[in-house]
Each structure stands twice: as structure tokens, then as C-alpha cells.
Amino acid sequence: MTKPKALIIAEKKSLADVYRQAIHQYGQTFPFDYEVLQFQGNVVGLKEPDQINPAWKKWSLEDLPLLPEKFEYVPIKPQKGDDRRTAQYKKRGYQYFQEAKKQLSSGRYAVVVNGCDPDREGQSIFDKFMLLMPKKVQNLPQKRLWVGDMQVETSVQYLRNPLDNKDPEYVNFGHEAMGRGIMDWLLGINGSRAFTLEFKARPAIHIGRGMTAILAIVAQRNREIANFQSHPYWQLKLMAGLGNGQELTTRLIQAKAEKLLNFTDFEAAQDVEKQVRPGPAVVTESSQGKGKIALRRSPKYFNTSDLIAYLSSPTYRCSGQSVTAALQHLYERKITTYPRTAGREMTPQRAENLEQILAVAQKVPALNERLRQLEITPAMVTKLAQNRYYVKPLSQKTGHDCLTFTGKEFDYEKLNHVEQLVVSAIAFRLLLSVLPPEKHRQEKIILKVQDYRFLAQANSLVDSGWTAYIPNFKGNYQQLPSLAPGMVLPVTKTELEEKQTTPPKPYTTATLLKAMENAGRLTSKAKLRQALKDHGIGTAATRQILIDKNEQLGYWTIDKKSRIIKLTDSGNRIIELLKDNPLVKVDLTAQWEEKLAEVSSGNLSLSDFSEIAKKEASAIVAQIIGSQTESFRQEEPAQVIASCPLCGGQIQQDGHAYKCRNYGQEAGCNFYLGRYPSWLKGNELQLREVLSLINTGKSSFLKMYSPKKRRNFQARFTLNLAEKKIDFEFKPRKQILAKEIGICPLDGGKILESDKQYVCQNHRVQRDQSGHWQESGCPFKVFKTMLGTKITMADMQAMLNQGQTEVKEFTGKKHQLFRARLIFDENQGRTTFLFEN
């Protein structure tokens, strides 16, 4: 009997390959004759304003707010102004869209299957695509695969028993994601246009639901730090004699609570000290080894935000982008589980493979030797699988479990540095969870002197448990003396200890991620606090993106070493001008999240949510328009600062630029430098740099940013007097001292080893005008890491002596693995591969 044909739409090639492998191996057991097509994420998007109404292409206050009657989707296509990477991405996306539409319209398929990622965004990617399909395609039965890892075995389960993509719970998941997109469109486009036009901002300012809220959070913290005034306070210490020269140190506590009493009045503190100094001290309470035994479990497993925060700390200094990319790559190589998760526990289904997962973790060489040599018995594995602190059921349709290993073995040495840190962190927590909890006894002694109470408390170690496997673990353990209630002790000494109040700490990327996840702590309203507790600001998939976007737009900078976030002039000005706008209020963010949760649960329709979002957009625009009379940049009267070196005219400075008075005139002059350019991330181009350019022909080297290429660089301005214009001069790379390792097989020069490459001392830097290598130059250069694989000294020696390396495993651009030898092709002037037969 012929099985009905079904077309699976996979969100990415990596997951499509898993489906194909499962179909190849087990296809005869499936209910459908499956075929697979892949996307690359979203292939459709909401219409741009000018696609809805051509008049909306021009930015005008009179047109705001832009409120489409209905929200429609179109295939993504390259647009004017896209950088090369974005244009290529959109071009591929359009090709995927056209191919899928062609196949589904052919009439060959009886069923269409949503094989996108198992989350709300994956659901919406498929559902939005189907909205643009012909009616006969939309009417096809729709199935759903909810594959939460890259394992063939998991996909087989769903390919045999696919779910119903029209299940209301899945439909509502998709609607929630669509609702987020609609709200972001309404608030982002209307807010950005209103702010830019009202405050005459150049370049345009980008306002967004999540990114502006976290900008306000950081700005508020910075204000608290700037306005903080440190004040002294005092704590009263009392030492009681125990005999044999020993003392018990205690501190004054409150009358009705076991909390330290802080004096803000020094004279009041002195008065109490005088009263208690004569003693004696009477023991009123003593645990005497009978204190409560407390357990300290090892940390829960990582979710995405936790891991990014952990690795972006000053200890590791990884950027959020690098951790996100590492997680995605490890997932696509089937080493770790789904990369965008809020879960901190493992599911019981995954725990069935716990023994293999732990075995993989123990092979990570970065772990300390004790953990690697730990004998994990079947009883320990069983006990962990039954521990609800680490292993907890998840609804089949909601979310993902923790970041963990799939059980597939991998070569640690072939991972890049960040990927090695990721797998080491995951392995560390996995293995600690096998071990018993740390146990300590909470002990205390309370003394009474006159009518005042003094407390001594400590934790005494009972069982070190998992902490014994952490070098230099600081548990702050202490043993209190054995004293019985009623004992009388002499007071040997009192001391008023002065302390200072301290300001809150500035946000780092790690602490901001935590604040976004636990944003309920930032509001005092109980109902909203609960909404933010359940949802936070952003999602596991978007929080790092929001942080990155503010950095890319120049609204804040992130220190590479400390990871401290510092607002730029532009970032501060945005928050200063928005004032009480709903976009900067955490409370409103909570209300939006609450409404989105109602969409997800089916209690609010997508159309009703869209109407609510329109009202919010209108309120935001109304608050901005007409509420201010000042500009984004404070207006300054133009003043002449120098003579123009290009045309002899006058260079003037105003609130927006340094420019020649002949700039834009018929006489024509090219001297123009914006004061707050995007390539300085919104910071001010200082007058001293402009004067240096005018007087010496060059500025100093400045740290710049290319929005199109999305990378940092250093360059300076130079005067090109011949062509009457201002040029860029890029800072040359530092010359790194290298050591000799051999003789170049091409020209007999010395092969030198530097930090990133092996290169001939005569290595040329360019070709001549005809395209040939310059005669004085040698093309020999081999990078130390190629396609994810390290090229060792042994490999280099083999290439120099035998002309090729041993067979090595590399990772291609599409993350496929291949085996080849590395050789140097003299004709091409580059390193290339010699593939096995």
C-alpha cells in the first residue's frame, strides 16, 4: 500500500539533516512518505510601512502613529541599504520560500509538517509561512514535530507519531510570537520615528520595547550610583572571656530580632558601649552542638541566561555573542542540547540516558582530576535521576530542559576556546550534581549584658559533600565554644567598629541578564511582580540580543575586562528625554508580558492583542510629540573654530557638526564631520581631534565601529589636499615577535611562529597590478586554527618536511565534518586540502 506523501519544513539545515537521516534509516516504519525542505529561520516578515502605505515611506510627525488596519506578511527580500551579509541572508530566505511554495503547490503532498524548532518562535515561523500559501495548501492537514535535541532517536519518535499542528496550544504559541512581533513593530517604528522627528536627532534614534526598557534600568542604576552619598554607621562588638586567654566575639543585635544593630548616631553608640563595658555577660541561648543541620546542594544545571552570565563574568570575559554562537554550534554538532532554554532541570526522559551523559562529562579534560577520576556507581545515577531538584518533568509542549550533553562523544581539542569553556561549565555542574549535598550545622550563642543582647553565630562543617571537589572552596566554617545557658562570662573588651554605606554596583552583562530574568524585583506592585517573575524582560532567546543591540547602536559600551556597562552620551540623552514614557517603565513591560501570556493560554485573541498594542503605541507617540521643546543634541550657536585647510573658508562648530561654511554651497567644500557619528557609537567627536586634523593633517587614532560590518576597528582622519577631502587611515596591526621553526619550502626563508599563524619571513602583503604575487614576497602562511581544527607544531613540521600533514578532521562552513590532509598550493598561494579517496 502506497503511503501518503508529506513535506517537512525544517527551520535550519542542521535539523533537516537529522530528519533525513531518520527517514533514511527508519522510513519504512513511518506513517508517511516524508520529504524534507529547510529554511534558515524566518523567511517571511511583517510588511514595512511603505509596503502598507507608500506615503509612510517618508518620516513625518503628521502621519504618526502608524496603525495598520491589519498586519500582513511578505517574503523577506534584500533591500537597498542592507549590508552584504544581510542581503545574502534575505536572498537565501526568499529562495527557500519560493522552493517550498513551489513544492507544496505541486499537488504531490497530502500532508505538510512543521519541523521547525520546538518553541514559540519555531511555531510562528511555520505558521507565518503558511499564511502566504495558496488556499489549497493551507487546507492540507498539518502535523508537528517537537524535537528538542539533534538526536535521530528523538526525531524517530515524532516521525512515527507526529502531533497536530492545529492543536490550540500550538496555535496559541504561534500567536504569542506573532503578537510580540506586532508589538515590536508598533512600538519600535512609531517610537523611533516620533523620537527622532520630535527631538531632531541625527542619525535616527532606535526605540524598542525591550531594548529601551533595559537602557532605562542601567540609566537608573547609574543615577543611583552618581547620587549616592556614603554615610558612616557603627556596630558594637563585645568580647567575652572564656579562660586560657580565649575570647568569644559577639555583636549587638536588635531587641526583638536576631539582626545586627547599626548605629547612625556615634554618641548613642558610645552611650550603649559604656553601659555594657563593665559586664558581666550571661549566656541566654546556646546551640551546644544541637543547631539545625542545613543542606547546601550543588548549583542547578545551566540555562541559557545563566551560562552567558557565568562566562561573561570577569573570570572568563566571553561576550554574549560568542557564547550564543558556541551553544548553537555545539547543538548543531549534536554535542549539547537545545541552545535557547530557560530550564534549569533535566527531564526524566533525558535522564534515562544519564549514565552516558555523565560519562561524556567526565572526559572533558579541563575538569580537575578528582572529578575526572570519580567513580560513579549505578546507585548514584539512579539516585540523581530520582532527585526532583535536578530532574523534573516538563510538559511536552512547553519549553525545554537544561543545557546538557546529548551523550554523543566529541573531541574536546577540536572545539574553539569558547566552546571548550561551555562544555567544561556544563560538565562541571553535571558531575557535582552526582555528589551528596554539603551539610553544616547552624550554631549560635546569645549573651545578655544589662538589657542588651549580643550574638555569635557560625556554621560548623558536618559533611563537605560536593564542595570537597572544588579547590579552595570557602565555606567560612567555624566552631563555637560549648557553653551552657546561665553561664556568666566576664567582658574583656568592647569596640565600636565604623563602617560605611556602599553604593549599588554598576551593571555588568552578567548582572543585567539576571535583572532581566528576575525583573519582578524592580517593581513594587505585587501583580506585576508576579507577571515579570513568570516572564521577565525578553526571553532566553532574546535577552542577549537586546544587550547586543544597545551596544551596536552606540547607546552603551561594555568594558572588555570587567564587562561593566556604561551608557554613552546618546544612551543617557534618550532616557533623559523619554522621562516617564511607557517604554522606560518596567511596570508596563510586565503588563505587556501578562497580555502575551494571555494570548499563549488562549484567553486573549491575537486580533484583540493587536488592538491593545495599537493603543499603547498611540500613548507612546502622544507622550513624545509636543512634550518637549529641546533637541536631542543641545542647540548651540555656530562659532568659527579655524580656517578650512581644503578651501580657505571658515570651519564652524554647532550642535551637530564641524563643517566648512562652504559645505553644500555652490563653491563646494567637502569638510564635514558629524559631532555624534554612528561610527563613534553615538559618542562625541572631540574638538581637539578636529583641530589636530586641521593643524597637523591628521587626528589621533580613534576606536570606531562599523554598523554594516558589525566590527570594531581603529582609524584616524587625514587630510587629502590633492583631492580636497577627508580620508580614513586604518591603524596598522602590531608586529608580533615570532620564533623560527623551520625553512620555507618555497623560497628558503625562515618560517616564523607567531600567536596566530606560521608564516615565511618574506611573506608578501599584496599582489601587483597584474594580479601576480610581488617578486619580493612569499605567499607561505598557515593559520594555527583552520575550520575549527588546531594546526599543531607537529602538523607544521610534517608540512615543511613531507609537504602535507596527517589526515585531520575539519568542520565546513555548514558545520559538516570532513577529513583531509593539509597542503600548501604554491600556484594558488594558499593553504588547501587534499581529500581522502
> What are 570-587's pLDDT values in tens digits?
899 999 999 888 888 877
Residue with cell 506615503: 55
pLDDT of residue 371: 92
Residues 6+ apart with CB under 8 A from 26: 156, 159, 160
Neighbours of 606 (CB within 10 A): 16
- Least confident window among 146-155, 264-273, 472-481, 542-551: 146-155
Residues 143 and 193: beta-carbon distance below 8 Å? no
Neighbours of 484 (CB within 10 A): 8
Please measure the distance between the N-terminal and C-terminal CA atoms of the chain and give it in whole angstroms: 41
For residue 634, the number of C-alpha atoms closer than 13 Å in the C-beta half-sphere is 5
pLDDT of residue 176: 93
What are the backbone angles phi and psi of residue 373, rounded to the nearest 5°?
Answer: -95, 0
> What are 622-662's pLDDT values in tens digits?
988 876 656 666 666 788 899 999 988 899 988 778 999 88
Give how far Cα 352 sits from Cα of 345, 356, 357, 426, Å: 14, 9, 10, 18
Give the CA dihedral 464, 465, 470, 474, nearest 10 degrees. -30
Residue with cell 589526515: 807
pLDDT of residue 293: 93
pLDDT of residue 159: 96
If you average pLDDT over residues 543-548, what whole number do you get? 89
All three cell numbers of 661, joined, read 561654511
Q: What value does the mean pLDDT of the chain take?
A: 88
Give how far Cα 20 sits from Cα of 10, 12, 125, 150, 821, Å: 10, 12, 20, 12, 29
Q: With residue 489 as reference, give the H or E element that holds it.
A: strand 488-489
Q: How sure is the predictor about 815, in pLDDT bands with cuts at 50, 70 and 90?
A: low
pLDDT at 118 over 70: yes
Whole-angstrom distance, CA of residue 354 vs CA of residue 804? 42
Whole-angstrom distance, CA of residue 467 vs CA of residue 404? 21
pLDDT of residue 398: 46
pLDDT of residue 777: 64
Domains identified in the chain and CATH numbers: 5-165 (3.40.50.140), 178-227+505-624 (1.10.460.10), 232-293+441-500 (2.70.20.10), 304-434 (1.10.290.10), 639-730 (no CATH), 739-835 (no CATH)
> What are 466-484's pLDDT values in tens digits?
999 998 888 889 989 999 9
Helices first, then strands: H and E counts in the chain:
24, 33
Neighbours of 385 (CB within 10 A): 16
Q: Which amino acid is at 415?
A: L
All three cell numbers of 26, joined, read 527508519
> What are 698-742's pLDDT values in tens digits?
999 988 877 666 677 889 999 999 889 999 888 876 655 567 888
Residues paired with residue 786 on neighbouring β-strands, in sequence order: 789
Nearest CA to 583 out of 632, 540, 539, 623 is that of 623
Q: With residue 292 as reference, give the H or E element that holds it.
A: strand 292-296
pLDDT of residue 531: 60
pLDDT of residue 739: 78
What are the backbone angles phi and psi of residue 74, rounded to the nearest 5°?
Answer: -135, 155
Residues 6+ apart with CB under 8 A from 742: 750, 751, 796, 797, 800
Q: How sure is the predictor about 440, in pLDDT bands with cuts at 50, 70 and 90?
A: very high
> What are 226-267's pLDDT values in tens digits?
999 999 999 999 999 998 889 999 999 998 899 999 999 999
Q: Which amino acid is at 583?
A: L
Give how far Cα 403 sits from Cα of 347, 363, 410, Å: 11, 17, 16
pLDDT at 811 over 80: no
Whole-angstrom distance, CA of residue 226 vs CA of residue 284? 45
Residues 6+ apart with CB under 8 A from 424: 364, 366, 367
**Segments of 51-154 assigned E as strands:** 73-75, 111-115, 142-144
Is pLDDT larger for residue 593 or for residue 729? 729
Q: How sure is the predictor about 767, in pLDDT bands with cuts at 50, 70 and 90?
A: very low
Whole-angstrom distance, CA of residue 715 vs CA of residue 704? 7
Q: How sure is the predictor about 397, in pLDDT bands with cuts at 50, 70 and 90?
A: very low
pLDDT at 495 over 90: yes
If you average pLDDT over residues 3-17, what whole number do you get? 92
Report DSSP state, residue 477. B
Q: How many residues does the chain have?
A: 837
Whole-angstrom distance, CA of residue 35 vs CA of residue 111? 11
If you average pLDDT over residues 263-290, what whole number do you get? 93
If you average pLDDT over residues 817-831, what whole number do you get? 79
Q: Is 355 helix (H, G, I), strand (E, B) or coil?
A: helix
Residues 6+ apart with CB under 8 A from 213: 537, 583, 584, 585, 586, 589
Whether the model clears a pTM of 0.85, i.e. scores above it, the answer is no
Residues 447 and 454: beta-carbon distance below 8 Å? yes
Residues 6+ apart with CB under 8 A from 536: 516, 517, 518, 519, 520, 543, 593
Residue with cell 628558503: 748
pLDDT of residue 589: 76
